[in-house]
Structure 1
């Protein structure tokens, strides 16, 4: 398969960013495109993308169910070529799992799934807490020769900008979700305080102390105590308008 030029790869990844609906869709399209781009004369490759955030690893995208399974097998064993790649930011190349000695249990398992070689290349995510790697699997031993490795390194370097943007969008989404949750909790607590003030003719501080005391005594979260007070007063479930 003829390798596309750098400009064509960058243009394609930009198109994926513009055409997909959200980060998850973009990453899955990226994994599929990567598998197509990095397959070659030695056969088709499968692609998974591993993301390491908050000390937790996850396969955030794959070119198919088989690639996702091969990635996730490593999490069961706690280590493997793709985890090492993402964690340490290094290229990991297993030419033949039949002779692999570093991860013998994982090697035996992937051999049972018909995989003979893997190439894991780290994305360049400098400045981000997250780490990521692209994982390429082949049914053939020695599938990734020097030219294939060089092509994969060049491709991942070009794709890293899109990956950095996707990670940052995901982080912003997480931040927005956490902020909304905090505001929702604040709304429920403030409403419960108002109900207690109305019922007991006490101060705001005294009402808050009553909620804290109930939370401590029952070993229940402050928000849950407040929600129960609002519900018992007929207020139902409260939400915060947030955009």
Structure 2
């Protein structure tokens, strides 16, 4: 490694550390997603636009786009079922393209993306262990905007982003779980007082009400709490 390389690596390490601390401080999933794409445009050279293709229940949707063109380009990929972000998710690898209009792998998507003014694309699979969260997509109107060094630096950034995203998702799930538990506990207390039941009998009554009305347990408990009078 040369002195120049060492200096560049040190600068990248400092940048990634700053990004990691910033993302860790974000309070929820939505804010974390916006922080990721904002940082991507700021820190990845020649990235003009960024967005995340999030996988939810087997479907892909665009979240936190930095501009309208991101939504347009992403939708083209979803509609054509081809393109770098679709393949990054399906094939579990990174895709870098410098002239998408001539890309033979995506004969429908490529020319259409070029017609919309996007020529260079860089898509990373966002994952932790074997779980794919989605893809981080970087777009540029320039030809050959991203080189091999940019791809390598961006991969390290995408790794930090995936860790921050899954952490925010877990925090959100934990918050929902705690909220559900508290609502159910309150509903049980109402039934115990109203019908002079023990905790187990009150919970069983709540479950039976949920099943007979085909309503989720949390929703049944919430309805009881809201209509306790």
After TM superposition, the score normalised by the length of structure 2 is 0.73
Match runs of 1:55-204 below 5 Å: 55-59=58-62, 64-115=67-118, 117-120=119-122, 122=124, 127=129, 129-130=131-132, 135-139=137-141, 143-144=143-144, 149-157=147-155, 160=156, 162-204=157-199
Bigger Cα Rg: 1
Closer, same or farther in 2 for the Cα pair 1:173/1:113, shift >3 Å? same
Closer, same or farther in 2 for the Cα pair 1:92/1:174, shift >3 Å? closer
Report if aligned partners of 1:32, 1:62 keep a CA contact under 8 Å in 2: no
Provide the aligned length of Structure 1 versus Structure 2.
217
Question: Quick one: distance in 2 between partners of 1:96 and 1:49?
Answer: 19
SS in 1 for 2:108: helix
Residue 237 (structure 1) aligns with = none
Question: Quick one: distance in 2 between partners of 1:92 and 1:171?
Answer: 22
Report if aligned partners of 1:31, 1:61 keep a CA contact under 8 Å in 2: no
Question: Quick one: distance in 2 between partners of 1:71 and 1:122?
Answer: 14
Question: Quick one: distance in 1 between partners of 2:158 and 2:9?
Answer: 16
SS in 2 for 1:196: helix
Question: Quick one: distance in 2 between partners of 1:201 and 1:107?
Answer: 68
SS in 2 for 1:130: strand
Structure 1: gaps (5+ residues): 40-44, 235-243
1:152-180 deviation digits (Å, cap 9, x = unpaired): 233224xx1x4333322332222222222
Residue 9 (structure 1) aligns with = 12
Report if aligned partners of 1:47, 1:134 keep a CA contact under 8 Å in 2: no
After TM superposition, the score normalised by the length of structure 1 is 0.69
Closer, same or farther in 2 for the Cα pair 1:152/1:111, shift >3 Å? same
Deviation (angstroms), 1:184:
2.0
1:71-98 deviation digits (Å, cap 9, x = unpaired): 3432333331232134424343445444
Closer, same or farther in 2 for the Cα pair 1:32/1:63, shift >3 Å? farther
Deviation (angstroms), 1:69:
3.2
The reply to whether residue 215 of structure 1 matches residue 210 of structure 2 is yes
Closer, same or farther in 2 for the Cα pair 1:124/1:66, shift >3 Å? closer
SS in 2 for 1:104: coil
Residue 227 (structure 2) aligns with = 232
